[in-house]
Amino acid sequence: MTDALDTLRQEVRLWLEGNAPQDWRDHCTTEEAFVDLQRSWFATLAKGGYAVPHWPAGWPGGGRGLAEQKVIYEEFARADTPRLLLSFMSTYHAASTLFEWGSEAQRQYYIPRILDGEIWCQGFSEPNAGSDLASLKTRAERQGDVYIVNGQKLWSTMGQFADKCLLLVRTSSEGAKQAGLTYLLLDLKAKGVTVRPIHQIHGDEEFAEVFLDNVEIPVTDRLGKEGQGWAVAQSTLSSERGLTLLELSARMRGALWRIGDLIRANGRDNDSGILRDFGRLATKVDAACAVADQFLANRIAGEERVGDASIVKLSYSRTLRGFTSLGLRIGGMDTQYHDPITFGGGMETGNWMADFMNSYAWTIAGGSDEVQRNIIAERLLGMPREPKSWTLKEAVA
């Protein structure tokens, strides 16, 4: 077993020597360069068979065991390759949801296109439906073989570069909020779709808003049944909360050298306080990796429980905040000067202020830390749930 893994490690390392982009951090400071690099690097990975190790067996590049995936991610982190930001939603969110809910025809149609480089984004959130996602208002009305969709989506990561969108819409306002939702696959090139990029806190444009004006979506592009959208969306969210974090936590571990570098560069090698904080962080990062590994192993064994993914996400997001904060602290005044940010550098570019601000993406996106805490307390630990309705009268009384 270990021998096979060592062989794989050598294989990946050798392959990366010949194929990993070099010096990309230096020129990846414009959006064009970012998109070019992301596309070409994804194509190279797909050809090399390393783009989607987490996919099930039977698909090119898929069927890698947990231990193999770890080796691959560790080597990527070690070679400091760009993180696949642009195709992240396609290979994780879209693919996982399609594998779980797609019909055979839908899978055969969409999955190969993802490997060909088609970009997906996720259109769940709306201006008035963030944490309370189930209250979303974007409406889809069925007319014969199509749904007519009207509304607005917000915070769609990579939406401005995407070809397709995982779209959660309301098809009914009867009964429970969740029961009226339906899951559609939207072609962003369709008539009536407008996408507008939004500047993120550090100046990068990583997400977009999407306006839908009488957009037609064929009924054949529905995942699951009408009204089943909430259940389908849980697959997407669980992928975001669990699976992706295997890669991200491995990358965070791989990036510990950045803090090590900083400690040396600032002559803090013998500062006990700094060493302790670094040591404590290194162990926390290991724990975040271990819990992501355990999550995936449980999922493969069919033992995932509601709330497990929330633990993985909460532990990652808090650790990442700690990681970037420590970098900021040791980096001192230097981190206050504005350096150009590296697009697609991940959360650990060594541009500490940008990395720190970026860590909020994980404490807010995909269900905020507070929402994860609610899920853990109520679903995993069985504590009583919040009363459903709220009125001003009750609050005052």
Residues that bind ligand FAD (CB under 6 A): 121-125, 130-131, 155-157, 207, 361, 364-368, 370-371, 374
Please, which of residues 76-135 interact with another protein by CB under 8 A?
none
The answer to whether 11 is a known catalytic residue is no
For 242-280, b/e burial (b = at least 16 CB within 10 A) is bbbbbbbbbbbbbbbebbeebbeeeeeeeeeebeebbee
Q: Which is nearer to ligand FAD, 337 or 390 (CB)?
A: 390
Please, which of residues 285-304 interact with another protein by CB under 8 A?
286-288, 290-291, 293-294
Those residues with Cβ within 8 angstroms of residue 114's Cβ, 6 or more apart along the chain or in another chain: 87, 90, 91, 94, 95, 120
- Among another protein, ligand FAD, none, partner that 77 touches (CB below 5 to 8 angstroms by kind): none
Q: Which of 59, 109, 211, 257 binds another protein (CB under 8 A)?
A: 257
Neighbours of 202 (CB within 10 A): 16
**377 lies in the binding site for another protein (CB under 8 A):** yes
* Contact letters for another protein, residues 357-376 (x by CB under 8 A): -------------x-xxx-x
Q: Which of 261, 300, 332, 340 binds another protein (CB under 8 A)?
A: 261
Which residue is catalytic, options 75, 126, 240, 348? 240
Tokens representing residue 344 in the block: 């697609």
Tokens representing residue 46 in the block: 């797909």
Q: Are 319 and 369 in contact (CB under 8 A)?
A: no
Tokens representing residue 167 in the block: 């779209």
Calpha distance 156→195 (Å, rounded): 9
Rounded alpha-carbon distances, angstroms, from residue 156 to 42, 161, 195: 21, 10, 9
Q: Are 186 and 217 in contact (CB under 8 A)?
A: yes
- Among ligand FAD, another protein, none, partner that 287 touches (CB below 5 to 8 angstroms by kind): another protein
- Among another protein, ligand FAD, none, partner that 293 touches (CB below 5 to 8 angstroms by kind): another protein
170 strand-pairing partners: 139, 181
Q: Which amino acid is present at 21?
A: P
- Among ligand FAD, another protein, none, partner that 124 touches (CB below 5 to 8 angstroms by kind): ligand FAD
**238 lies in the binding site for another protein (CB under 8 A):** no
**380 lies in the binding site for another protein (CB under 8 A):** yes
Interacting residue ranges for another protein, rule: CB under 8 A? 256-257, 259-261, 263-264, 269, 272, 274-280, 282-284, 286-288, 290-291, 293-294, 311, 314-315, 318, 370, 372-374, 376-378, 380-384, 386
Catalytic residues: 240
